[in-house]
Amino acid sequence: MSLRYVRAYLSEIDFPPQAHVLEIGCGTGVVTRILAQWPGVAQAMGADPSAVFIAKARALAQGIPNLFFQEGDGRT
């Protein structure tokens, strides 16, 4: 995945002010980390069923205060 393409894709989304964004199937949180730092996004959360991916996502998210990860599959 090219980060340039992700940023181009996200730039087409009109997020409301102070948006709370949820990414289901976030893996290690690459896109969720970008979202947490996106203009107008107040909070970003990533969910993934893999405990290993969530652990890695949390480790990579150090220092981003509005970013959270939760183990789950989106059904609950």
Looking at every residue in the chain, the average pLDDT score rounds to 94
Spell out the long-range contacts of 43-46 with Cβ–Cβ below 8 A and sequence spacing 24 or more. Answer: 43/19, 43/67, 43/68, 44/20, 44/68, 45/20, 45/21, 45/69, 45/70, 46/22, 46/70
Domains of the chain: total:
1
User: Does residue 35 lie in a domain region?
Assistant: yes
Return the CATH number at 54.
3.40.50.150
Over residues 21-41, the pLDDT tens digits come to 999 999 999 999 999 999 999
User: Does residue 49 lie in a domain region?
Assistant: yes
pTM score: 0.89
What residues form DSSP beta bridges with 21? 44
Structural domain including 61 reads: 3-71
pLDDT tens sequence for the chain (76 residues): 688 998 899 999 999 999 999 999 999 999 999 999 999 999 999 999 999 999 999 999 999 999 999 999 888 6
User: Does residue 58 lie in a domain region?
Assistant: yes
